[in-house]
Amino acid sequence: MMEKIRAIVEKCNLYLGIVSGLGILAMGLIIAYEVVCRYVFNAPTIWTQEVSIYLFIWTMLAASSYTLQTGRHVRVDLILERMRAKKRLLAEGATGIIGAVYCLIVSLQAWQMLAMSIGYGKLSATPLRVPLWIPQSALLIGFVLLTLQFMLIVIGRLSDLRALGNKGGAAR
């Protein structure tokens, strides 16, 4: 059961990572298009800057749990590397819980912000008048996935810890 959930979340992370990578490419193409329009056709666009910022927000938040899953969020592992296996697992489990709680709180706040934007029908203060929930929902989705990924890390460390305990008992 646990493994199934893990597999689903990790697959989801990977696909979001790939899509986000292509999203960066799309940002590059959109902005380059604007430069061409401005200099070659002398017709600057009104939508490129705003749309590319929304893409940026979406790609960065959507790929965050993939980045966590692959261990690419920068951390100080100086002391961790020098710890015994058991202490290390405990430390990683504890920081995982803190990370999960933080991401959960951000998710809840993102949800409130989103509910406000939808409720009042808030639009962006730009010529495009984009409904604000479109970029803002990236915050909710990104941090919900981060919360899940942190929880998976905690569960993973706990089961490693139990396996370690059994092995230690058997050796004795």
Partner 1 sequence: MITFLIVLSIILLLLFAGLPVAFSLGSVSVLLLFFYDLPLKIIGSTVFGSLDSFVLLAIPLFVMMSQVLLDGRIGDDLFDTVNVWVRHLPGGLAIATVIACAFFAAITGSGAASAATIGMVAYPAMLARGYDKKFTLGLLGTGGTLGILIPPSIPLIIYGEVAEESVGRLFMAGVVPGIVLTAILILYAAFRSVRGGYLRVEPASWRERLRVTKKNIWGIILPVIILGGIYSGIFTPTEAAAAGLVYSLFITLVIYRTLRLRDIPEIGLKSVATSCMIAMIITGAMLFGRVMTLLEIPQQLTELIIQWKLTPIMFVIAMNILMLLLGCILETVSIILLTMPLVVPIIHTLGIDPIWYAIVLTVNMEMALVTPPVGMNLYVISGLAPEIRMSEVIRGVTPFIIILVSFLIITIAFPAMSTWLPSLM
Which residues of this chain interact with partner 1, rule CB under 8 A? 17-18, 20-22, 24-25, 27-32, 34-35, 39, 49, 52-53, 56-57, 59-61, 63-64, 66-68, 70, 72-80, 91-92, 94-95, 98-99, 101-103, 105-106, 109-110, 112-113, 135-136, 139
Quote the least distance from Cβ 6 to partner 1, whole Å: 19
| Chain mean position to CA 33 | 28
109 or 159: CB nearest partner 1: 109
139 or 148: CB nearest partner 1: 139
3-state secondary structure of 164: helix
Quote the least distance from Cβ 29 to partner 1, whole Å: 7
72 or 162: CB nearest partner 1: 72
145-148: long-range pairs with CB below 8 Å, 24+: 145/9, 145/12, 145/13, 145/16, 145/62, 145/64, 145/65, 146/64, 146/65, 146/68, 146/99, 146/103, 147/100, 147/103, 147/104, 147/107, 148/9, 148/65
Rounded distance, CA 54 to CA 57, Å?
5
Quote the least distance from Cβ 170 to partner 1, whole Å: 28
Quote the least distance from Cβ 117 to partner 1, whole Å: 10
